[in-house]
Amino acid sequence: MKTVKYGLSALGLAIGMAATGVSMSVSAAEPTLAEADYEKAKLQYFQRCAGCHGTLRKGATGKNLEPKSTMKKGQKRLEKIIALGTEGGMNNFDDLFTKKEIANMATFIQMEPPVPPEMSLEQMRSHTKEYVAPKDYPTKPMHGLNWKNFFVVIERDAGTAAIIDGDTKKIITHIDTGYAVHVIKGTEHHKIDHAKDVGRFWYTIGRDGKVNKIDLWQTPDKMLVAETKMAYDARDIAVSGDGKYVIAGGYWPAHFVIMDAVTLNPLKVVSTRGYNTKGEFINEARVAAIYTSPLTSSFIVAVKETGQMLQVDYTDLDNLTITSIASAEFLHDGFFDPSGRYFQIAANASNKMVVIDTIERKLEAMIEVDALPHPGPGANWIDKECGPVGGTTHLGVGLVSVWGNDPMGHPDKAWKLCYEVETDGAGAFIRTHETSQYVWADQLKHPEPEVQQSVQVFDKDTHEIVKTIRVTTEPGKAALHMEFNNDGSEVWVSVWNRKDAKNPTGEIVVYDAKTLKELYRIKGLTTPTGKFNVHNRMNHKT
């Protein structure tokens, strides 16, 4: 096997050459890997680590992992961190990687990060495929089912999306979406724009930047109707209020792409590379949350590393108007308040919730919260004292933070912490429903199985945890992500088979939203993570 060295990074070199004018050289002391090991570590890094630490390893949710940081720690210490994780939010990987893979990863992150290539609009277009011609789309649902209570479910490691009938709990089909879909969004009701057949079309975004279009009116075997690719690495997607455009954001290249929602043909690409709020240039300025503003004809695009919230007007793509709202680094996941005017988003490594006013197109507030807020789909409800509130879980601490979000009705409470609820472990997703007395929080980030496999439920009035539900006890499995059904009578929780990720040994456990008792186990799912109820999502029930 050939042993190769990867010496100087492109960017390090660029600066180095410009500043010193000295010729490059490959130092003999640098760590090396055999080519096959290097390629494997590169792929694993990209799939498992880049999301938090960045493709260029500049750090974001996780810390900087450039050689200047990692060389100081050394091989042994790095192996230990990767294997066991840390209290501060770093995952353990001893359940996913072999000893050798961990050792190679520790070496890999002491080498200069390779810089991935660009992607042009033409390259994206070469991936656009039509599976069903728009002229052959049905004019009414072909299956006679109550599609507005369907759940669209990510089967992460199977590369599929399952469509589950919420009425019967039957898995209707597994749609081939490709590698690790991260988010799926459908058309939604909008205040001023009107999409045809709201809730019918759903769009997936994969970690590999692949976009798929799903038609819920089709017969199950034909639900996948189109496909394209808009980046090498991506996380979020949204559909315009008029249903004409789909927008998706790239982690790499750092850009967002607006596509024709009928054909998925990429129409416009806009770079997000730029300056952070301190005025430092960021090459890897990744797009995290993307939403459609329910009250205005615009998209909301969160640029993680620059702390810029972009409000992108979609009425004229050739003369594209964007308001860049400076907030705080590192923007990640967000959700609208019940009025649809305010977007509430975690600037996670700044320990802040950022609030944007989409009517005035400006920063409304920044709320100081505990370590690494992460609301996932988020939750809004009414508090007896504070009035309308929003809440978030935290990646860094077992806590739910709750703040007032009604500046009109409750100006004294607005954008201030109302109360906090301690949970057993750090989590990623919070959820409730207007019909429910309870708020649900998962504990996905906790290293111990008992906690990671349990979700906690607290009462909206007493602020007390009323129940800790152990969703599974099987080793290698984690409980995460709650979604209510259409009328709010059930709560669905995913059991993610992280360890046995190639087999359909994951499940969704359905609970009675009132009694908190288990009702069903939907089996035969491979690594289910996020799930999206058509009725709730199309009607902004957050």
Residues 248/236, Cβ–Cβ less than 8 Å: yes
Is 461 exposed, middle or buried, given 0-12, 13-18 or 19+ CB atoms closer than 10 A?
exposed
CA dihedral 301, 305, 306, 309 (to 10 degrees): 20
The DSSP output letter for 117 is: P
- Main-chain dihedrals φ then ψ at residue 532, nearest 5 degrees: -135, 115
Residue selected from 226, 231, 261, 289 as contacting ligand DHE according to rule CB under 6 A: 289
User: What's the rounded Cα separation, in Å, for the pair 343 and 353?
Assistant: 10
Q: Residue 26 Cβ, how far from ligand HEC at the closest point, in Å?
A: 23
Q: Tell whether residue 17 is a contact of its own copies (CB under 8 A).
A: yes
Would you put residue 146 in left (φ > 0), alpha (ψ -120 to 50) or beta? beta
SS3 sequence of 374-413:
EEEEEEEEEECCCEEEEEEEECCCCEEEEEECCCCCCCCC
Q: Which residue's entry shows tokens 């994951």?
A: 506
Decide if residue 530 touches ligand DHE (CB under 6 A): yes
Per CB under 8 A, the list member of 28, 68, 139, 316 interacting with its own copies is: 316
Judged by CB under 6 A, the chain residues 61 through 80 that form the site for ligand DHE are 61
CA 496 to chain centre: 16
β partners of residue 237: 248
Which residues touch 126 (CB under 8 Å, ≥6 apart)? Answer: none
| Nearest residue to 383 (alpha-carbon basis) of 358, 362, 359, 401 | 401
User: Residue 93: is the preceding peptide bond cis (ω within 30°)?
Assistant: no
Active site residue 52: yes
Q: In angstroms, rounded to a whole number, what is the distance separating the alpha carbons of residues 291 and 302?
A: 9
Range in contact with ligand DHE (rule: CB under 6 A) among 161-169, 330-338, 446-454, 499-507: 330-338
β partners of residue 154: 161
Nearer residue to ligand HEC within complex by CB, 48 or 125? 48
Q: Which does 63 bind (CB under 5 to 8 A by kind): ligand DHE, ligand HEC, its own copies, none?
A: ligand HEC
Judged by CB under 6 A, the chain residues 94 through 133 that form the site for ligand DHE are none
Q: One symbol per residue from 211 to 240: x for binding ligand DHE (CB under 6 A), - otherwise; what is it? A: ------------------------xx----
Report the nearest approach of ligand DHE to the CB of residue 419 (Å). 23
Clarify whether 386 is annotated catalytic. Answer: no
Rule CB under 8 A: is residue 279 a binding residue for its own copies? yes
Determine whether 374 is an active site residue.
Answer: yes
Query: What number of chain residues touch its own copies (CB under 8 A)?
Result: 59
Q: Using the minimum distance from each CB to ligand DHE, give the nearer residue, 332 or 477.
A: 332
258/389 with CB nearer its own copies: 258
Residue that the structure tokens 């890897």 belong to: 284
Q: In the complex, which residues of this chain contact ligand HEC (CB under 6 A)? A: 48-49, 51-53, 61-63, 65, 69, 78, 81-82, 86-91, 93, 105, 109
User: CA nearest 414: which of 439, 385, 381, 386?
Assistant: 386
Catalytic residue among 143, 174, 190, 374: 374
Which is the catalytic residue, given 190, 332, 410, 446? 332
Closer to ligand DHE by Cβ: residue 143 or 379: 379
300: nearest Cα among 251, 225, 349, 239: 239
Partner whose footprint covers residue 362, from its own copies, ligand HEC, ligand DHE, none (CB < 5 to 8 Å by kind): its own copies
- The three-point CA angle 312-406-431 to 5° equals 80
Tell me: does residue 183 bind ligand DHE (CB under 6 A).
yes
As annotated, the active-site residues are 49, 52-53, 90, 332, 374
Using CB under 8 A as the criterion, which residues of the chain lie in contact with its own copies when the complex forms?
4-8, 10-11, 13-15, 17-19, 21-24, 26, 35, 38-39, 42, 114-122, 124, 253, 255, 266, 268-271, 273-275, 278-281, 316, 318-326, 361-363
Using CB under 6 A as the criterion, which residues of the chain lie in contact with ligand DHE when the complex forms?
51-52, 61, 156, 182-183, 235-236, 288-289, 332-334, 376-377, 428, 480-481, 529-530
